[in-house]
Amino acid sequence: MRVVNQPPLLVRVGVGYFRRLSRQHGKVDVGDGVHFLNPKERAALKRTVRQAVTRAAIAGALSTVVAATTEVLAQPILGHHPSHAPLSATVRFWAVTGSVTVVASILEILYLYWDGLRAVHRLSREAGLDLFPHEADEAALASAMARAALELPNPTGQLFGVNPFREASRLRLVAASFVYKAKVSVSNFAIKALVRRALGRAVVRAWLPFVAVPITAAWNAWVCWVIMREARVRAMGPSAAREMIDRIFDGAPPLPGESPRPTTLGPRALATTMRAVASSIVRTEDMHPNLVAMLEEVVERSGVVSRREPKARIAEIDDAGAVDDPKAFLMQLAMLDEAERGTVLKVLSVAAVIDGRITRAEANLLREARRTCGRSTSLDAVERLRRAFLAGDAIDWDLIETL
């Protein structure tokens, strides 16, 4: 999860804050593995999420109450007929309400950023995740968690020649970002419009500004819940990916008296496992840190290039085209023998669930790959693995074998 370019200022600030908190609280007890949550850890994580969501809702409500109260108190500036108020009065009204709203919103955002970082750090410790396991790796793990806490997008640069936006529509990416930012504003506008139709003008004028209070509180609570869920996924992902890749490549642990039975893959099959993870990144259109960690694991296993060389490309692994071309992946998959196909399908399935979600394009890739291998296109086993991963359950190796 190495970032070649310097991360944004907010990420650097978040990493610095994580470092101070880590020094205050000392080393983390990793215990039974980050991706497995025992009952005590589950209870602690639920409590941390519940408290963070409550604080976010209260912060949104208080900020909106301040803005709404100011708007109500400033109504006399517009006179008895606000719609016919002179321009000078309208300007004074919006100057007062606007300045208070801006200040309240800035304070709310600053608090949410600070509290989000604090909550994500606490969640990481309760899950057994050390954000600074190695001094040289600080930008990898801590930066990924800081981005989750601050709700910042993942890096858009390429890694090992893999471009997450190879198949993405630029217009759709811009539209999705705009819609996300506009959600809460549209919700406020719609609710206010309904209130205006349902109630008389006098009543509306008195308390309409306060309609935004529960909306903003609910929105903050929802966003905080999403942030904490993503932080939990990022905390568990690298550990789960590493263990599942180890099992897939090395085979089942030997029985007493037996010799190890590692999975042997030829050069083409090794290259195809890299293509599987790269194609999953392309289909999710996101360089998610869990997928980055998994790509590094597979690249390290392949021996093509060391993960310590972030600028290196793996596009030249064979002559079948770019490593991040899903069509080339499917073509190479069809050329493998049955055992190798099974291994590659397992890698692809793990890549599909390791970021906590399966996009429609990713599900289509899974079905196409299974169809290429002459297998059922049902993704029930993959979905069961995703739910188990999100729950923090112990890895079901029998389920892995059925993928």
The structural domain count of the chain equals 2
Q: What is the pLDDT of residues 212-253, one digit of tens each?
A: 788 888 888 998 999 999 999 998 888 888 888 888 887 655
Task: Please give the pLDDT value at position 372.
Answer: 93
pLDDT band at residue 198, thresholds of 50, 70 and 90? very low
The average pLDDT across 329-342 equals 91
Structure-model confidence comparison of residues 46 and 250, the more confident one: 46
- The closest of 121, 112, 114 to 23, measured between CA atoms, is 121
Task: Please give the pLDDT value at position 207.
Answer: 63
Pick the last residue of a domain from 219, 234, 249. 234
On whether both 68 and 211 belong to a single domain, the answer is: yes
Pick the last residue of a domain from 234, 259, 278. 234
Percent of the chain with pLDDT over 70: 74
Residue 143 lies in a domain: yes
Task: Determine if the pTM surpasses 0.75.
Answer: yes
On whether both 191 and 271 belong to a single domain, the answer is: no
Three-state SS string across 35-81, please?
CCCCHHHHHHHHHHHHHHHHHHHHHHHHHHHHHHHHHHHCHHHHCCC
* 84-93, 121-130, 260-269, 359-368 — most confident range: 359-368
On whether both 126 and 95 belong to a single domain, the answer is: yes
The answer to whether 245 and 347 have CB atoms below 8 angstroms apart is yes
Domain that holds residue 91: 9-159+167-234
Task: Quote the distance between the C-alpha of residue 188 and its chain's center.
Answer: 26
Reply yes or no on whether the pLDDT at 310 is more than 60. Answer: no
pLDDT band at residue 347, thresholds of 50, 70 and 90? very high
On whether both 247 and 221 belong to a single domain, the answer is: no
Question: Counting runs of H as helices and runs of E as strands, what totals does the chain give?
Answer: 14, 0
On whether both 130 and 223 belong to a single domain, the answer is: yes
On whether both 180 and 264 belong to a single domain, the answer is: no
Q: What are phi and psi of 269, to 5 degrees?
A: -65, -40
The answer to whether 272 and 333 have CB atoms below 8 angstroms apart is yes
- The closest of 62, 76, 66 to 99, measured between CA atoms, is 66
Structure-model confidence comparison of residues 2 and 331, the more confident one: 331
On whether both 144 and 247 belong to a single domain, the answer is: no
Residue 2 lies in a domain: no
CATH number of the domain that residue 258 is part of: 1.10.3680.10
On whether both 45 and 186 belong to a single domain, the answer is: yes
On whether both 198 and 252 belong to a single domain, the answer is: no
Task: Look up tokens 């409590």; give the residue.
Answer: 47
pLDDT band at residue 180, thresholds of 50, 70 and 90? very low
On whether both 81 and 220 belong to a single domain, the answer is: yes
Q: What is the pLDDT of residues 55-110, one digit of tens each?
A: 999 998 998 898 888 888 888 887 777 777 788 888 888 888 888 888 888 888 88
* 5-19, 118-132, 331-345 — most confident range: 331-345
On whether both 301 and 368 belong to a single domain, the answer is: yes
Residue 3 lies in a domain: no
The average pLDDT across 154-174 equals 67
The pLDDT mean for the chain works out to: 79
